[in-house]
Amino acid sequence: SQKIEQNSEALNIQEGKTATLTCNYTNYSPAYLQWYRQDPGRGPVFLLLIRENEKEKRKERLKVTFDTTLKQSLFHITASQPADSATYLCALEGGGSYIPTFGRGTSLIVHP
């Protein structure tokens, strides 16, 4: 069955460092992959979308990579700040469906 895996353990890093979050998938051929941020008590907020033929995408301090061979996406936040602390979810879309399937998210905690 299709599976999306994000690390369930929180990632703790120091302010100023680069945070790297992982999204792995199996039995899936996604054409698109999205990353969202979710703060406590709020709905997810869209951050970036990357297509299967794109290796990398950047937006300000954010960078996303998409490796269809490894079946993995990496989400990087450079020069992290305490305000970046949140849960980050990946969502995959493909296989003829227009509806993305979400991972369960990884919590990021940036310590001052």
Partner 1 sequence: DAGVIQSPRHEVTEMGQEVTLRCKPISGHNSLFWYRQTMMRGLELLIYFNNNVPIDDSGMPEDRFSAKMPNASFSTLKIQPSEPRDSAVYFCASSFEGGHQPQHFGDGTRLSIL
| Binding positions for partner 1, rule: CB under 8 A | 31-32, 34, 41-46, 49, 89, 93, 98-105
CB 18 within 8 Å of CB 78: yes
Nearest approach in angstroms of CB 14 to partner 1 is 27
Nearest approach in angstroms of CB 5 to partner 1 is 11
Q: If you write DSSP's letter for every residue of 49-112 in order, what string do you get?
A: EEETT-SEEEETTEEEEEETTTTEEEEEESS--GGG-EEEEEEEEETT--S-EE---EEEEEE-
Of 98 and 112, nearer to partner 1 (C-beta) is 98
Nearest approach in angstroms of CB 43 to partner 1 is 3
Of 34 and 80, nearer to partner 1 (C-beta) is 34
Q: How far apart are CA 100 and CA 29, in angstroms?
A: 12
Of 5 and 78, nearer to partner 1 (C-beta) is 5
